[in-house]
């Protein structure tokens, strides 16, 4: 892991947690304490700071088999074959097990539905899950049913050929009909649970937006992800002063129009089939809560 000039001077545990996906700061500290992070063969400490031009070696531990209980829970499957499954996730449903949600997640339901046909099923906390979607975001999620498909789809995420289009109700009106937000995203400097547009320890992030319908103080927009950073659309819309309605983390701290979580829906997925290479496009309708909100805004 080569340190760029702008990444210099950061505590190693902080740097690793920000650069390695799904690695918490506490997990980064454990790696450092175990001597798994070295510079020229010398083990580093968690309080050590990054140095520009240094190349750190990180030895990640082998994934351990974990026990996830399959549960016969409803799944809204919109596409499925021997390699890939695409489902429509309801708002409020957790994707993968975590404290407080060990047996009522989409992963539990997928374990039941797919049995032993999911990628990385013996070593992943999120078996089959190719990309993330927030608990309070509804819409399409792609699942790999074998390691071959997972690797192929992950490569498409990396080269941006897997396209994801969302719809969101945001605050305020737009003069333009469409535009692009090209602003790097990293951990918020003061609140580790949030993301932010920042130049420090960040990764490039690009969101293309287009106005679909105007409602005076609110606007329905389509957002197409070119990259897939954590909370990307929520952070980018807030950055251009159009936070998503109901987003109490990046927008107003109080619910508005009865919405206490972000009005964001993953509507369309386009990818190359990992087995055939043929393009596949899958869409799902807006959820009932979003349709009801739009009808209310049209009336008002």
Strand pairing class (185-187; 178-182): unpaired
Of 83, 134, 136, 247, the active-site residue reads 134
**CA dist list (Å): 29 to 38, 45, 117, 192:** 13, 8, 34, 15
- Using CB atoms within 10 A of its CB, is residue 49 exposed (0-12), middle (13-18) or buried (19+)? middle
Residue 134 among the catalytic residues: yes
- Using CB atoms within 10 A of its CB, is residue 46 exposed (0-12), middle (13-18) or buried (19+)? middle
- Nearest CA to 263 out of 87, 134, 143 is that of 134
- Nearest CA to 27 out of 16, 43, 38 is that of 16
- Residue 93 CB contacts under 8 Å (≥ 6 apart), including other chains: 105, 106, 135
Whole-angstrom distance, CA of residue 18 vs CA of residue 123: 22
| Buried b or exposed e, range 77-114, using 16+ CB within 10 angstroms | eebeeebbbbbbbebebbbbbeeeeeeebbbbbbbebb
* Distance from the Cα of residue 298 to its chain's centroid: 31
- Tokens 């952070």 label which residue? 235
DSSP SS3 for 294: helix
Helices (H), 67-214: 106-114, 147-158
- Could you give the residue numbers annotated as active site? 134
């Amino acid at each position: 892991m080569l340190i760029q000039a702008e990444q210099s001077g950061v505590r190693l545990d902080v740097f690793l947690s920000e650069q390695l996906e799904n690695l918490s700061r506490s997990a980064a500290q454990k790696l450092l304490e175990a001597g798994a992070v070295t510079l020229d063969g010398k083990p580093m400490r968690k309080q050590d700071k990054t140095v520009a031009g240094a190349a750190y070696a990180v030895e990640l531990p082998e994934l351990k088999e974990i026990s996830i209980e399959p549960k016969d829970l409803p799944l809204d499957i919109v596409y499925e074959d021997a390699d890939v499954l695409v489902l429509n996730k309801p708002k409020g449903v957790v994707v993968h097990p975590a404290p407080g949600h060990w047996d009522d997640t989409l992963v539990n339901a997928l374990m039941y539905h797919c049995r032993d046909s999911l990628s990385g099923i013996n070593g992943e906390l999120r078996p089959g899950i190719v990309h993330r979607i927030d608990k309070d975001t509804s819409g399409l999620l792609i699942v790999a049913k074998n390691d071959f498909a997972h690797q192929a789809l992950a490569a498409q995420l990396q080269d941006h050929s897997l396209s994801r289009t969302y719809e969101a109700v945001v605050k305020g009106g737009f003069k333009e009909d469409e535009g692009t937000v090209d602003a790097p995203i990293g951990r918020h400097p003061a609140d580790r649970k949030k993301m932010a547009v920042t130049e420090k320890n960040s990764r490039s992030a690009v969101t293309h937006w287009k106005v679909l319908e105007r409602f005076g103080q609110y606007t329905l927009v389509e957002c197409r992800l070119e990259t897939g950073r954590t909370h990307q659309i929520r952070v980018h819309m807030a950055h251009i002063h159009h936070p998503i309605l109901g987003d109490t983390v990046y927008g107003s701290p109080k619910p508005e129009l009865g919405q206490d979580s972000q009005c964001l829906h993953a509507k369309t997925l386009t990818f190359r089939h990992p087995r055939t290479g043929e393009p596949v496009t899958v869409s799902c309708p807006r959820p009932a809560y979003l349709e009801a909100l739009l009808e209310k805004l049209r009336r008002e």
